Amino acid sequence: MTSAQPKNSSRNSLVRNAGIIGLATLLSRILGFVRDMVTASYLGTSIYADAFFVAFRIPNLLRRLFGEGSLTAAFIPVFSSYLAADKRTEAKEIAQTAMTLTAICLTIITICGIIFSPFIISVIAPGFSATPEKYELAVFLNRLMFPYILLISLVALAMGILNADNHFLTPALAPVLLNLCMIATALGLTPYLDNAALALAIGVLCGGLAQLLLQLPMLKKRGFAWRPRFNFRHPAIKRVIILMGPSLLGLAITQITIFCNTLLASYLIDGSISYLYFADRLIQFPLGIFAVALGTATLPALSRAAAKKEWDDFSTTFSLALRLLIFITIPAMAGLILLSKPIVFLLFERGHFGAHSTTMVAQTIIAYATGLWAYAALRVIVPAFHSLQDTKTPVKVGAIALLVNLISAFSLMYFFQHIGLALATAISSAVNCLLLLALLKRRLGDEIKITGLNRALIQTLCATALMSMVILALDQIPLTAPSYSSHLYDCLRLTVKILTALSVYFICSKIMGSPELLELQQLVSKRRQRSQKRDNG
């Protein structure tokens, strides 16, 4: 077997798995927008919206710390090393023990969170104390939603087990259930409750439970059925706990950044937290579909390569992931900046969400979007360190990024209010990304070669520049909307702009011979061939 064959296999596997995750995430994001449209219609950017977003942010923050964050980042590399060594029976024991330990620890955290909710709200949003109604509602909603951290952390660990075992579809579909539950409870329960915020909180709990129930059958099918196991002294469990320490600290730094922005926003005008939330939701759309998908698929692949010390395979996987992110996120960044206002208008401007809210959220999106490339790259660069079982370096660099964020936030919010907070996030993420990439290259030296990055960047920038000029040219065409269907007209015009811009971008990339476009075309072609074989068979 030639050396090119493993590389091609690794490349095809990465693109295929990222494609599976991306398509499932696309469905989830579309439903997420429906959820946000329902939320915006019922809550707008009122004090009820601010209270719900703050209350939901706390269990969500802990989810990122203990669930999808430090636990999976530490667990997947260790777990993958046992699978790579064909120790599947022992891997099953490790998985069951990790699930048991997670359930015990997160139950204790949940109970403490419910008891100390008033203190938590006072710390994370001290500005709420000036409005007793908003403060009391935030405390109540936080208590109601806190069990979500227990449910979603078990979901995240189950997803990590399945991803490490090279199964990505079921975990990727899980967030769809959260969105469906929140939409259903908002529409079905709001007429019978005091406000939509309470209905949405109930939907969060139902969504967490539904996601866990979705994972359990697939875990059983692949031989990892959850049974209580208390072998906490297993070397792998100890290794996971050791790795979790720095990883947890690193993620804590990231969440402290979010916490500081929320704290500062609570002192700004009413609605500031909501402006940041809705803008972040739109930024998360390309991140969730492409960056998170690639990061999720990359961590197990890099972990297997690192465990076997196959550095050529490691380099191939890492380079491809970065180049695909450049190919997708730079045009997405330009599109969000140029089309922010019509997108926000079409998605959210109805009910309690008015024209002023549209303008504020659109401006915040532009600020966030300047750092989209950095947010995306971090989804691949940080897992690269984790695959090497190095969780300390991201912590040290994250501390520097936190300092940059705090200085930027205090400086910029004075002039730009909540928009300054979004700009501070973009600046600190760029610093974090560039420092980590430089340190990764320095650490691995000649063992890892990041290939094709400069070429991909130049080609992408050229195609994006032409795409942006087309969008601006279309804006100059004077057209009058028919009065009887102005909203539909605006929707059609935005759709035409997006489709035209994408066509120009992909045609330019095709003319320049972009390998990244070829990778995506081959993925689509292979999916069509498999679909045809199933239809014919």
In Å, how far from its chain's centre is CA 167?
Answer: 19
pLDDT, residue 224, reads 83
Average pLDDT score over the chain? 79
pLDDT for 461: 92
In this prediction, residue 206 carries a pLDDT of 93
**pTM, to two decimals:** 0.64
Structure tokens at 393: 């370096």
State the distance between the two ends of the chain, measured CA to CA, in whole angstroms: 31
Question: What pLDDT is attached to residue 132?
Answer: 80
pLDDT of 154 reads: 87
pLDDT on residue 487? 66
Q: Please, what's the b/e burial string for 323-339 (b: 16 or more CB within 10 A of its CB; e: otherwise)? A: bbbbbbbbbbbbbbbbb
**pLDDT of 2:** 44
Q: Which residues contact 180 (CB under 8 A, 6 or more apart)?
A: 31, 207, 210
Give CA–CA dist 474/496, Å, rounded: 9
Residues in the chain predicted with pLDDT less than 50, given as ranges, are 1-6, 484, 528, 531, 534
| ∠ CA 480-485-488, rounded to 5° | 95
> In 3-state terms, what secondary structure has residue 265?
helix
Question: Which pLDDT does position 531 carry in this prediction?
Answer: 47
The pLDDT, as a whole number, for residue 210 is 92
Cβ 122 vs Cβ 139: under 8 Å: no
DSSP-assigned letters across all residues of 226-255: ------TT-HHHHHHHHHHHHHHHHHHHHH
Q: How far apart are CA 69 and CA 479, in angstroms?
A: 48
Q: How far apart are CA 153 and CA 503, in angstroms?
A: 40
Task: Express each pLDDT in 369-394 by its tens digit.
Answer: 888 888 888 877 887 787 777 777 88
Question: What confidence score (pLDDT) does residue 446 get?
Answer: 66
Q: What is the pLDDT of residue 26?
A: 73
Phi, psi at 477, each rounded to 5°? -75, 115
Could you give the 3-state DSSP secondary structure of residue 344? helix
pLDDT of residue 513: 84
Determine the pLDDT at residue 202: 92
